[in-house]
Structure 1
Amino acid sequence: MINKTFAILVLLLALNCKSTQSQEKMNKEDITLIAKGNLYGSGEEGIEKQNTVITNQSNWQDLMAKMNSINKVSDGFSESKIDFSKYTVIAVFDNVKTSGGHSLELDIKSNSENVEVEVSRNSPAGMATSLMTQPYYIAKIVKSDLPIIFLTDKN
């Protein structure tokens, strides 16, 4: 009787346990900030609000050309030559804003099933310039076979 009671208790505990995936921040050396800031072309670059994963040179060149269409933004990148056999580029763009002071932050974590990119959108606290801006954040990460998913805050 005690063995049956124990077996039922163990079974109930096992059924009630939720699977928890261990989220680990990627190592600092696995993530490189290429650039973050704002585009100042009043949306004329034609870049929509997006979360983009770039895995080849052609798409990377296309993105840089769009970003450079009004102002030579890529001159401020920490690097523009990416070895896509070793790295993947994450590019996040917000909507065009009617004022300055907006920014994006990324928190990149991985687990056994995917790479999660948490996007935080920050608004100015107080007075801001009345200049149209479009926040962006571009980073490269070590190439992985895991799918990349984006999580965004409510802002």
Structure 2
Amino acid sequence: MKKIVFLLLCSVFFILNSCQDDEQNAVAPVPMNFSLIGKGNFYGGTYVTPQNSVITNTADWNNFLAQADATNNVSGSFTETNINFNQFMILVAVDQVQNSGGHSIDIMTAVEHPLNITVEVDKLLIGDATTVITQPYHIVKIQKSTKPVIFQ
């Protein structure tokens, strides 16, 4: 009888000790630094497709720049246009066309998780400042990653 109780206690002890605490093994999310490429409004007939997107190569970046510069030289106000896509990727947030000025779209955070990168996009300014038609945009660069990017 003592052997059975001893084996039962040993079994329970072994089972409880072998259970892993997933929270101990979880990797904490890491905020990513990003650099501003451009922020403002398309206007005067220059409008692009509303989007939250990731640009990872020169061809896609050049296509975006061609759209942005179709009527006005918008990229002339960007901090840089020559991007090293071996090291960086571009996050683009473009809102819909607005019937008034004073709107914004804002990339607030980029956070790296074990399986993906989440990007929080918000609209801090809600408009009605002027009667000009505008389309807010915010463009940043972050370190290149193969993880999928999820915009929130």
In the alignment, is residue 35 of structure 1 matched against residue 35 of structure 2? no
2:54 paired residue number: 53
**Distance in 1 of aligned mates of 2:132 and 2:124:** 16
Residues 1:103 and 1:20: Cα distance change in structure 2 (over 3 Å): farther
Cα offset for 1:121?
1.5
Bigger-Rg structure (1/2): 2
Within 5 Å, give how 1:7-86 maps onto structure 2. Answer: 22-26=28-32, 30-41=33-44, 44-86=45-87
SS in 2 for 1:103: coil
Cα offset for 1:31?
1.5
TM-score after normalising by structure 1: 0.78
**Distance in 2 of aligned mates of 1:114 and 1:147:** 5
1:140 paired residue number: 141
Q: In angstroms, what is the RMSD of aligned CA positions?
A: 2.9
**Distance in 2 of aligned mates of 1:20 and 1:148:** 20
Cα offset for 1:150?
0.8
Between the two proteins, the alignment pairs up a number of residues equal to 144
Q: Give the aligned residue type for 1:84.
A: F
1:121 paired residue number: 123
Cα offset for 1:21?
5.9
Q: Which runs of 5+ in 1 are unaligned?
A: none
Cα offset for 1:124?
3.2
2:5 paired residue number: none
Contact 2:47–2:97 (Cα < 8 Å) also in 1: no
Residues 1:148 and 1:76: Cα distance change in structure 2 (over 3 Å): same
1:99 paired residue number: 100
Q: Which runs of 5+ in 2 are unaligned?
A: 1-7
Q: Give the aligned residue type for 2:51.
A: Q
SS in 2 for 1:91: strand
